[in-house]
């Protein structure tokens, strides 16, 4: 009898403990409790003041030529705070962005890429999160002619043409100190402009890293395979498959509007949807992209490289694709 009573008490105690210690933990509140960082510059003001065309101290890489497509400007570490604020518009959940994220200025809509040495950054700072960054002591520079915020980094590549200074990643331990999260994530706060392919291709650096929607376009069945433009074979009609021989270079697939204007969607071979089939060539719809740019040589005029964050960026017009993929 005593044993039965003991077992009953034990079971009740375990039940009470289990009720007070659920296995499904509540997510942490991302609201930062430290003193807020108030923006001193818009992103465009920050770029205008601290990003030069040649780099301010560090010599440019030898393959930059007079165009300085790889260059670094150091940002003063002392003096008045230098702070920018923006909303995160990128998402690395599917692997489209690696150790970087992009913020959109809450006032102007301008955007800037930020390099941070941490994987799965969206788990820490998700889409729609407002974040302020104190930039004192950091660097702003061009990597392949695209501006990004980071640190001064010397690339000691075995290829002497690639050896030299470029913007590097901010250590995550440092980023936690110099940044503040402002409230909870609000994905609905992301502002998406609508642009045509021709408007993008005729634009300048002010559009770099912006999020835009291109309406009424299709994947036309062409792209680049090992840097050769061609009509894609049946085995190549995927976003980034088969895996290219030369890795680490985005896989280019062409989209086209009804006026025949064309531009590339560039996808990493490491994304989760790399082996997803491309939509049929007769399917037109709206695509949300983040505008990228890459130019690695002075004689190269460069190329626009549009990135989708996930297949969900294939919007109106691609409903049947999502049902059948």
Residue 11: per-residue pLDDT: 42
As a whole number of angstroms, the distance between CA 264 and CA 31 comes to 38
> What total number of domains does the chain contain?
2
Domain containing 269: what range? 193-324
pLDDT of 15 reads 39
| 60 or 317: which leads in pLDDT | 317
The pLDDT of 107-116, averaged and rounded, is 95
Is residue 52 scored above 80 in pLDDT?
yes
112 or 226, higher pLDDT: 112
Note whether residue 20 is domain-resident.
Answer: no
Residues 56 and 175 both lie in one domain = yes
**Do 47 and 87 fall within a single domain?**
yes
**Of 158, 189, 220, which residue is a domain's last?**
189
Strands (E), the chain: 70-74, 83-88, 100-105, 111-117, 130-134, 139-143, 146-155, 164-168, 170-171, 179-182, 193-194, 211-225, 228-231, 251-257, 262-267, 285-294, 303-307
Cis omega before residue 63 (within 30°)?
Answer: no
Identify the pLDDT of residue 71.
Answer: 85
Task: Looking at the structure, tell me whether residues 183 and 197 fall in a common domain.
Answer: no
Q: In the chain, which ranges are continuous DSSP H helix?
A: 2-20, 43-50, 172-178, 197-201, 319-324
Half-sphere exposure of 138 (CA within 13 A, CB side): 30
Q: Which residues contact 104 (CB under 8 A, 6 or more apart)?
A: 86, 87, 88, 89, 110, 111, 190, 191, 210, 211
> Measured in Å, how far apart are the chain's first and last C-alpha atoms?
63
Q: Looking at the structure, do residues 223 and 293 belong to the same domain, yes or no?
A: yes
For position 222, which CATH number holds? 2.40.50
Same domain as 162, residue 48:
yes
Mapping DSSP to helix (H, G, I), strand (E, B) and coil, where does residue 262 land? strand
User: Is 95 contained in some domain?
Assistant: yes
pTM of the full predicted structure? 0.86
- The predicted pLDDT at position 63 comes to 61
Weakest mean pLDDT among 27-36, 138-147, 176-185? 27-36
For residues 197 and 184, membership in a common domain is answered with: no
The percent of residues in the chain predicted with pLDDT above 90, rounded, is: 68
Q: Are residues 157 and 207 in the same domain?
A: no
Q: Are residues 184 and 236 in the same domain?
A: no
> Considering 189, 208, 239, which residue would you say is the last residue of a domain?
189
| Residue 33 domain flag | no
Average of per-residue pLDDT values in the chain: 87
Q: Exposed e or buried b for every residue in 106-127, given b needs 16+ CB within 10 A?
A: beebbbbbbbbbbeebbeebbb
Q: What is the pLDDT, as a whole number, of residue 67?
A: 64
pLDDT in tens, 226-264: 889 999 999 999 999 998 887 778 899 999 999 999 999
Residue 107 confidence (pLDDT): 86
Report the C-alpha gap between 278 and 271 in whole angstroms.
Answer: 14
Q: For residue 44, what are its two tokens?
A: 């465009």
Residue 59 in domain: yes
The pLDDT value given to residue 56: 65
Q: Is residue 15 part of a domain?
A: no
Does 96 map to a domain? yes
Same domain, 47 and 182: yes
The answer to whether residues 84 and 147 belong to one domain is: yes
Find the mean pLDDT for residues 288-302.
Answer: 82
Q: Taking residues 310-315, what's their average pLDDT? A: 98
| Cα 233 to the center of its chain, rounded Å | 29
Regarding whether 202 and 171 lie in a shared domain, the answer is: no
Place of tokens 């006026």: 259
- Which pLDDT value is given to residue 183? 93
Query: What mean pLDDT comes out for the span 82-95?
Result: 97
Looking at the structure, tell me whether residues 226 and 154 fall in a common domain.
Answer: no
Would you state the pLDDT for residue 243?
A: 83
């Amino acid at each position: 009898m005593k044993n039965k009573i003991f077992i009953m008490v034990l079971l009740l105690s375990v039940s009470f403990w289990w009720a007070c210690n659920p296995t499904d933990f509540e997510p942490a509140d991302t609201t930062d409790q430290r003193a807020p960082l108030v923006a001193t510059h818009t992103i465009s003001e920050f770029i205008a003041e601290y990003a030069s065309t040649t780099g301010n101290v560090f010599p440019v890489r030898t393959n930059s030529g007079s165009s300085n497509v790889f260059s670094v400007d150091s940002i003063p570490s002392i003096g008045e705070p230098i702070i920018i604020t923006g909303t995160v518009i990128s998402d690395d959940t599917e692997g489209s962005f690696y150790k970087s994220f992009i913020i959109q200025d809450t006032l102007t809509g301008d955007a800037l890429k930020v390099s941070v040495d941490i994987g799965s950054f969206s788990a820490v700072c998700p889409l729609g999160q407002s974040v302020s960054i104190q930039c004192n002591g950091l660097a702003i520079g061009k990597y392949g002619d695209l501006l990004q915020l980071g640190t001064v980094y010397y690339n000691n590549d075995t290829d002497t043409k690639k050896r030299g200074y470029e913007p590097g990643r901010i250590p995550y331990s440092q980023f936690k100190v110099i940044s503040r999260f402002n409230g909870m994530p609000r994905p609905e706060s992301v502002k998406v402009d609508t642009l045509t392919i021709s408007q993008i291709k005729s634009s300048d650096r002010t559009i770099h890293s912006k999020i835009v929607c291109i309406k009424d376009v299709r994947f036309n069945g062409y792209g680049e395979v090992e840097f050769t433009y061609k009509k894609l074979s049946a085995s190549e009609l995927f976003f980034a498959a088969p895996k290219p021989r030369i890795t680490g270079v985005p896989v280019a697939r062409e989209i086209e509007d009804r006026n025949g204007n064309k531009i590339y969607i560039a996808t990493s071979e490491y994304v989760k949807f790399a082996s997803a089939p491309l939509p049929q060539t007769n399917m037109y719809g709206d695509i949300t992209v983040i505008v990228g740019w890459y130019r690695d040589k002075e004689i190269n005029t460069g190329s626009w490289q549009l990135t989708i964050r996930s297949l969900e960026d294939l919007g109106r017009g691609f409903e049947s694709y999502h049902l059948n993929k």
